[in-house]
């Protein structure tokens, strides 16, 4: 007898609330129930565990990517690809604030746009002079962008919307 892999719940949107010491993923399923999962990684934990310099060094980024993949990949088994990723919480506020400071006011991004922003951070990590970059170089911003990028890649999102200043109901 062949064992079938459990089907992931179909969600219309996945809300990812990136906090300081942990995060929460939640989505409304096709059965109209909320599926919530804790993610054992947040901005401060990622900075403490990996991103010790500002800007972080390339090896620190690699370690942070590994930690983020380990935390995010299990969500793929439970959440089927949803139509939309909504980033909330401290992570969304940090990303939106740092991007606004760099002259980027948009709040919705494609995966390619997130990848391009992340690649700019990687270039700074690899030695691009800070005077040639308008993006922030602090470890917290690197952590938030890295968690967003890895979530989009491993959960197969084409687009993300940043929601800031809203109560998420996750507290």
**pLDDT range class, residue 4, cuts 50, 70, 90:** low
* pTM for the full predicted model: 0.89
Say if 145 falls within a structural domain: yes
Say if 103 falls within a structural domain: yes
Please say whether the beta carbons of 116 and 166 come within 8 A: no
| Beta strands 23-29 and 11-18, pairing class | antiparallel
pLDDT digits (tens, 9 = 90+) for 90-134: 999 999 999 999 999 999 999 999 999 999 999 999 999 999 999
DSSP code, position 156: T
Say if 85 falls within a structural domain: yes
Say if 89 falls within a structural domain: yes
Count of residues in the chain: 171
Cα separation, 121 vs 28, in Å, equals: 33
Q: Does the structure show a pLDDT above 70 at 1?
A: no
Please say whether the beta carbons of 146 and 114 come within 8 A: no
Say if 75 falls within a structural domain: yes
Average pLDDT, the chain: 89
Structure tokens at 154: 């491993």
Q: What is the mean pLDDT of residues 62-84?
A: 88
Say if 54 falls within a structural domain: yes
Say if 8 falls within a structural domain: no
Q: What is the pLDDT of residue 9?
A: 58
pLDDT digits (tens, 9 = 90+) for 49-64: 999 999 999 999 999 9
Q: What is the pLDDT of residue 170?
A: 38
Say if 82 falls within a structural domain: yes
Name the domain count of the chain. Answer: 1
| CATH at 96 | 3.30.420.150
Per the structure, the complete domain to which residue 75 belongs is given by 13-24+33-162
Please say whether the beta carbons of 37 and 75 come within 8 A: yes
Q: Does the structure show a pLDDT above 60 at 153?
A: yes
């Amino acid at each position: 007898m062949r064992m079938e892999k459990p089907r992931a719940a179909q969600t219309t949107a996945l809300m990812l609330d990136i906090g300081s010491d942990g995060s929460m993923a939640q989505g409304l399923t096709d059965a109209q129930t909320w599926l919530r999962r804790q993610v054992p990684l947040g901005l401060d934990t990622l900075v403490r565990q990996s991103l010790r310099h500002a800007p972080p060094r390339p090896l620190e980024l690699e370690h942070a990517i590994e930690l983020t993949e380990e935390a995010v990949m299990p969500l793929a088994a439970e959440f089927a690809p949803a139509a939309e990723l909504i980033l909330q919480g401290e992570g969304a506020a940090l990303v939106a604030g740092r991007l606004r400071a760099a002259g980027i006011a948009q709040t919705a991004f494609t995966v390619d746009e997130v990848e391009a922003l992340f690649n700019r951070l990687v270039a700074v990590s690899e030695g691009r002079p800070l005077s040639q970059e308008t993006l922030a170089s602090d470890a917290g911003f690197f952590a938030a962008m890295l968690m967003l990028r890895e979530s989009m890649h491993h959960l197969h999102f084409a687009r993300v919307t940043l929601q800031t200043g809203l109560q998420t109901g996750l507290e």
